[in-house]
Amino acid sequence: MVPYLCKNGHLEYKILVKDNLIKILKNFKELFSTYKFYPYYIIIKKLYKSKKNYFYSFNDNGYSLVLAFDRKNINIENRKRIENFIKKNNLKINMGKTDSMITNKFNREAAKKIRKSEKNSFMSIFKSNVLNNLKN
């Protein structure tokens, strides 16, 4: 179903919410209804911190909130609204899921830490390519 809905590609935000999940969801709902754009799916998963020491921002207790949009139906202004919402609420984002935010230097310090880390076996080829493009 997703490939049929997103012939022009999709944009997916995977966000770590540690506290106030209900408040964050209500604020997202208000943002979407105010500006009349909506994700075509939302996934919420409970996360538990691993006992192993991984260098990964989603290795923590909380909730993983995934919002997916069709690229042709979400404009630049609405993308900026989502990014501003994430910054304002101090939420962490999964770097591998939101390529536009990485290439726009949304979280440059985290990228530098990952590049220097010896424990980056979780990195995909995509993440490696993006991080290589962030070189100063």
pLDDT in tens, the chain (136 residues): 566 666 677 788 888 898 899 999 999 999 999 999 999 889 999 988 777 766 555 567 889 899 988 888 788 899 899 989 998 998 888 755 555 554 444 455 655 555 555 544 445 555 665 666 665 4
Q: What is the C-alpha to C-alpha distance for residues 37 and 79, in angstroms, rounded to an integer?
A: 10
SS3 33: helix
**Domains, the chain:** 2-133 (3.30.70)
